[in-house]
Chain A
Amino acid sequence: METTAPKIRGISPDETLEVCARQIIVSYFHQMMSYKEGAKKGSDIEFVHQMRVTSRRLRAAMDNFAACFPEKPFKKHYKKVKSITRTLGSVRDLDVLIARFEKELDPLPESEQADTRKLIERLHQKRKNARKPMLTLFAKLEETSFERKFLTFFQGL
């Protein structure tokens, strides 16, 4: 399931792109980070999914608006967002596979279910491993005040 785009408020189409770009990027960033705690917890797979999709939307905005910002610091922030997408992607891909194979189980005869169950078990183990780099990245982002720095840069403070 794909999320719908976050509502961007207070934008006038005749305002300069530079001003709008800051508002949009900050708005998307807040939405992405709002899923972080849920993704860390890991009990509901939707948080990882939503955070990943929003990080992709944020990257699309950053790709389009790159010309509005000084190149070097912009690239630094862009790379961090990219690493968020990547690490969430590893977990999400496994969530999708597990959900799909669990759905495929029902119509299979009991004798054939065992093979698929073994595969699902293996994927669960892989998912557990894939969560580790994600949690390490989140911890690192917190240690380095990524959120504050990102917002300071894009809010132009």
Chain B
Amino acid sequence: MAKTHKITGVKPLRSYRENARIILPQKVEEVYTWEPFIRDAARREELHNMRISIKRLRYTMELFRLAYGSPKMRSREVAGTDDKRFTEFLGVIVDLQGILGDIHDCDVVLEVLTDYGTQSEQETIAPGIAKLITQTKETRNADYKTFLEKWEHLSAIGFKQKLLSFFGAACKPKTCY
């Protein structure tokens, strides 16, 4: 598993809100470092690493949720819109995490089945195990196709830029009040 990218520029004595703008874009960039590899279904390691980076982004978004649309600090209308958009962005991230998780599960299952199949005393893989291998490969292929379609759609609508501009602009107190 790839190490988390070191977060830079954090200002402990500045506000939580301000630091959200510093930290979240770095987490987005970490996810996109894996993008050059994901159009190859065989890049298991990189797909797994992207899943981990997406999970880190998700958890960081959850940590900073209060910086986006806190009704106490901003007009109810603006806060409500930001909160809705935040929920939508988070939903996309959770969805990507889920589908990449399904792909990873299939990869792990295939490894276990193959190891088990080749360890047995018989020369050929037992029929029950062979069948599971075939089924899991089919599921993996379908999951990968689904993931790639979702990813290409997000790229086409400029998801990354939308996410970055939301994180960067949505919580500037003086311009949003």
Contacts and interface: CB of A to CB of B under 8 A. Distances in A.
A97 B112 contact: yes
A45 interface: no
A5 B59 CA distance: 8
A64 B12 contact: no
A2 to B, nearest CB: 8
Interface residues of A, number: 40
A63 B7 contact: yes
B63 A24 contact: yes
Contacts of A135: none
B15 A17 contact: yes
A17 B127 contact: no
B141 interface: no
A28 to B, nearest CB: 9
B51 interface: no
Contacts of B65: 5
Contacts of B131: 108, 112
Given A8-B66, A64-B63, A112 B10 contact: no
A96 interface: yes
A12 B112 CA distance: 48
Nearest to A68: B12
A123 B112 CA distance: 10
A17 B11 contact: yes
B14 A16 contact: yes
A67 interface: yes
A114 B132 CA distance: 13
Given A112-B128, A113-B128, A119 B60 contact: no
Interface of B: 4, 7, 10-20, 23, 55-56, 59-60, 62-63, 65-67, 70, 72-73, 94, 97-98, 105, 108-109, 112-113, 116, 126-129, 131-132, 135, 171, 173
Given A17-B10, A112-B127, A113-B128, 20 more contacts: A2-B94, A5-B59, A12-B72, A13-B66, A13-B67, A16-B13, A17-B15, A17-B18, A57-B59, A57-B62, A63-B4, A63-B56, A64-B60, A97-B108, A100-B109, A115-B126, A116-B129, A119-B112, A119-B113, A119-B116
11 contacts: A12-B73, A14-B17, A18-B12, A21-B12, A60-B56, A60-B63, A63-B4, A64-B10, A68-B10, A108-B128, A116-B128
